[in-house]
Structure 1
Amino acid sequence: MELFGRPEVKVFAERPSTIGQLLTDTAARFGEKQAVVTEERTLSYQELDGQSTTLAANLQRRGIQVGDRVGAVIGNCAEFPIVVFACAKAGAIMVPVNVKLQVEELQYIIGHSKPKLLIVEAEYAEKVKEAVRKSGLQDLEQPELFVIGNENSYGELLDESAAFEQVDVDEVDGAFILYTSGTTGRPKGAVLAHINAVHSVMNYKRRFETDDSMKTLVAVPMFHVTGLVGQLLHMFYVGGTVYSMRRYQNEAYIQLILKHEVNFLFNVPTIFIMMSTSEEFQKHSFGFVKKVAFGGSPIYQQTFQMLKKAFPKAQLHNAYGATETTSPATLMPVSYPESKVTSVGLPVDVADIKIVDPEGRTVPDGESGELYIKGPMIIKEYWDNPAANQSSFTDGYWHSGDLGIMDDDGYVYIRDRKKDMINRGGEKIFSIEVEDALKSHPDVVEAAVIGEPDPVFGEKVKAFVVGQNLDPDDFSELQAHCKKALAKFKVPEEFVLLESLPRNASGKILKNTLKETGGRSNA
């Protein structure tokens, strides 16, 4: 079908029409079953459906119409999914905002998305109020603010006397605006339409073979696409149960998995690495875990082997995607050869992925290039950003900015971010290749590699490492280790030992921060 003006987009013939319809259908099948279990409360599917309709009615009472934005500065709590489905039913576009943002960052997002109404947790209310004041919006444009918690003005939005009026919400209408990480310049507001999210949850179900027996634990932020689509909406589509944590804590996370026998885990590899170092984790069996998914950063052989040992009965799924792909673009199938473990999987069923050279020409299988991705899960547009819309899409394909290859069997391997590739005197170096070599050292837990300006070669390789038993003043052993696996020009010339790597809310390493802060170096 033609979608957002893009021709020949593959879609699933049978699909829910909107996100609101997705919940209503599931609630009809699993009414009294637990849908959401948070640290404060539990909601059944029937309660989630009913309370979101009540909230939608109160949004309408306050003038919210199809296409209006509703900002939400809410962490992992029961109110988050209620707001998700209330906005979906009213036809509003929810703008979930990273709760960790500071006033200036909030100020930009509020000023750019121009929400008509804001729902905010009490602990973030003051900085949001200040951001609204500084946003540049005129008095008549400033959003009405409702606070969950202390003053609890949010309670006004749950008035059961409000009558919900059914509105015409089309599947191509915007459902969310998710602001991208903004590791360079201003963040862009990615508009996820209903049809995008619906196809993504269907892709997860088909590839992972999930069903209503699934129980997941959301420790990543729900305002990020993995928590929102990969876990929350995915589970509500199949009829599973979502347990949630407000903030990730290693021991508490492990205890909740054991307590509820959570059988579907989805995290960045770092969380699994952290889990594996816990004595609590090591003394228990996790044979009840059925599915383990991971994405957001490279998976190393040793991490994969650790997961295989820790979750002996689980299917292990690598995943690759972005906010712009509404979560998954590629997913590992239920079974695959061991030789493919470092792959991010096969394109999802409705995806069209091609690997192109700098001129946009498709390269042969096995050759490296940038991933161009097309499909019904690709975002509708960037909100109020004509320049980004013009530069980010070609013939319906979104430019991922990621470099990778596709093998003869169709499996995709991510090699690097386009902007993270290092050019040392004309020699192109994939930072992931160097990171793999560093990670294979038994004392290295994590590694991030960047290009450091060099007066002779243009760039040289600089490594930031996290580990144990490493000498911060002598990295000759690590260099010798790298030389066994890498050409000499790829071996890091500078090292910095860190306690942890900087990350954004989605768990991705902020290489831009590493470039800006530098750190002490040792050759």
Structure 2
Amino acid sequence: MAAIETMELFGRPNVKVFAERPASIGELLAASVNLYADKDAVVTEQRTLSYSELDKESTILAANLQQQGVKKGDRVGAVIGNCAEFPVVVFACAKAGAIMVPINVKLQVEELQYIIGHSKPALLITEAEYAEKVSEAVEQNEFQQSDRPQLFIIGGSNSYEELLNADAPFQQTQIDEQDGAFILYTSGTTGRPKGAVLAHINAVHSVMNYKKRFETDETMKTIVAVPMFHVTGLVGQLLHMFYIGGTVYSMKRYQNEAYIQLILKHQINFLFNVPTIFIMMSTSAEFQKHSFGFVRKVAFGGSPIYQQTFQMLKQAFPNAQLHNAYGATETTSPATLMPTGYPISKVTSVGLPVDVADIKIVDSEGYTVPPGESGELYIKGPMIIKEYWDNPAANQSSFTDGYWHSGDLGIMDTDGYVYIRDRKKDMINRGGEKIFSIEVEDALKSHPDVVEAAVIGEPDPVFGEKVKAFVVGPKLDPNDLDGLKAHCKKTLAKFKVPEEFVLIDSLPRNASGKILKNTLKETGGRSNA
């Protein structure tokens, strides 16, 4: 049993922490390099890096970042998908004391512009296929010349290879575990994303929580098919595997047949995905032809798991322990995890709070409710983010006495198992991609013929939810709404663009003028059509 003590963390008193822990992400890697130097750490479609190669290349990159003037605390933006360079940048930033800003590669120029302008990176690294929109986003920010980030392109003209000059001297940087390691941007209720600052101590505790609860070890092999720039791919898989000495196989883009073949070829024994991927995989004839008895761990999170999906997983992976997981960017991945050997009666639960978490369910007045009663989850622990980057208002409103307000409604039973019932936040969850409706509504309202718009999540058998928009616009042609979709595509990532548009005369409202989205969900807008 790992010893637990308490400490003051980020000014929050009495936070439970593991007494023995790596001091930083860099130390986490160093420990595995000592044990597994020649073992494959990451295997991508282009190249393979052993633990010692990952360590060496990330140190070289860290030295070159320093040569470019990157100092401790500076941000390094990364518009990089699932490839070998991603973990190299992760550890290079960690060693140099820089804060890595992994940016969703699916974002459009306007979205990139905000994140780059807000985080103010000293340097940007991007894959060649995203270079044009990243460059345009930099231009639109109109940086002063001294603040303008230099852009390095993986496989491009201003080549990332310039940052791999082995002659550059590396200056050892003193890293404190409370220093920021990443800024992950997550959608905000104001329509602007918030930059969640994940410190070294946050990531370290999360990987320790995964190892302890899932009982993972160095024999684990996983496929990262979810994006590495999301907290699950980054922490739940990449850093988790590097902590235990496992091997990561990477997919640039998820494809059913290729994913299944990869599992079979490498005898992958640890799968961690949003339920959508498991559902899509189960529909494949190729999947149904094979036995997957070698799979030992199956974890899922990011969107609700349904009873029929659970039964499918149990049948498909007969020898695997199935683990539901609940967390958020702000909890550095897991806040609750299913233990091994849980009772079958708990399958719809998201598990028990991780060992270092304090979770309470509170009512609208902030008072803790008894077991079995619904309320909002307040979460405290060493995995809770340090802060929101340059956002005093969000920092003020999102934390109370060291507890982060999750915005999720749930219950905790008498055994301590947590069940998520609904989301307090007005958010749509499309296959694990979080979409705040206000962001889509703002894009729609910028169309000259749109008077009003309301966006909801519509149930979808594959993605869990899809985006549905109700639009008021007398000048719009109800038989030709393709122009609205094209308009949204200009400023929104593809997964945020509504898949269905309904033209209505007016939006339903209550006496205070608030739009009644539940009415829209129930009626489909028919009463106003």
TM range (shorter): 0.7 to 0.9
Runs of 5+ unmatched residues, structure 1: 422-430, 433-447, 451-458, 468-508
CA RMSD of aligned residues (A): 2.5
Determine the structure 2 residue equivalent to 1:493. none
1:9-408 aligned at under 5 Å gives the runs: 9-151=15-157, 153-182=159-188, 185-408=191-414
Give the distance between the partners of 1:36 and 1:397, measured in 2 at CA: 35
Q: Which amino acid aligns with 2:147?
A: E
> What SS does structure 1 have at the residue aligned with 2:409?
strand
Aligned length: 450
Paired-residue identity, %: 79
Give the distance between the partners of 2:151 and 2:110, measured in 1 at CA: 18
Determine the structure 1 residue equivalent to 2:519. none
> What SS does structure 2 have at the residue aligned with 1:11?
strand
Decide whether the 8 Å contact of 1:111 with 1:136 is kept in 2.
no
Q: Which amino acid aligns with 1:218?
A: V
Classify 1:463/1:145 alpha carbon distance in 2 versus 1 (closer, same or farther; 3 Å). closer
Q: Which amino acid aligns with 2:379?
A: I
Q: Which amino acid aligns with 1:225?
A: V
Give the distance between the partners of 2:112 and 2:165, measured in 1 at CA: 29
Q: How far 1:60 sits from its partner (Å)?
A: 0.8
Classify 1:189/1:215 alpha carbon distance in 2 versus 1 (closer, same or farther; 3 Å). same
> What SS does structure 2 have at the residue aligned with 1:94?
strand
1:416-436 Cα deviation digits (max 9, x unpaired): 101359xxxxxxxxx99xxxx
1:257-287 Cα deviation digits (max 9, x unpaired): 1111110000011110111100000010000
Give the distance between the partners of 2:105 and 2:81, measured in 1 at CA: 7
Give the distance between the partners of 2:189 and 2:231, measured in 1 at CA: 16
Determine the structure 2 residue equivalent to 1:411. 417
Q: Which amino acid aligns with 1:241?
A: T
Q: Which amino acid aligns with 1:147?
A: I
1:192-229 Cα deviation digits (max 9, x unpaired): 00000000000000000000000000000000000000
Q: How far 1:393 sits from its partner (Å)?
A: 0.2
Q: How far 1:62 sits from its partner (Å)?
A: 1.1
Classify 1:519/1:403 alpha carbon distance in 2 versus 1 (closer, same or farther; 3 Å). farther
User: Which TM-score applies when normalising by structure 1?
Assistant: 0.83
Q: How far 1:409 sits from its partner (Å)?
A: 0.2
Decide whether the 8 Å contact of 2:334 with 2:354 is kept in 1.
yes
Determine the structure 1 residue equivalent to 2:442. none
Q: Which amino acid aligns with 1:337?
A: P
Give the distance between the partners of 1:200 and 1:466, measured in 2 at CA: 31
1:123-177 Cα deviation digits (max 9, x unpaired): 1111111100111321210001111013261111100101111111100000000
Give the distance between the partners of 1:176 and 1:519, measured in 2 at CA: 42
Decide whether the 8 Å contact of 1:219 with 1:246 is kept in 2.
yes
1:229-261 Cα deviation digits (max 9, x unpaired): 000000000000000000011111111111111
Runs of 5+ unmatched residues, structure 2: 1-6, 430-434, 438-453, 463-493, 505-523
Determine the structure 2 residue equivalent to 1:496. none
User: Which TM-score applies when normalising by structure 2?
Assistant: 0.82
Determine the structure 2 residue equivalent to 1:477. none
1:356-387 Cα deviation digits (max 9, x unpaired): 00010000000000000000000000000000
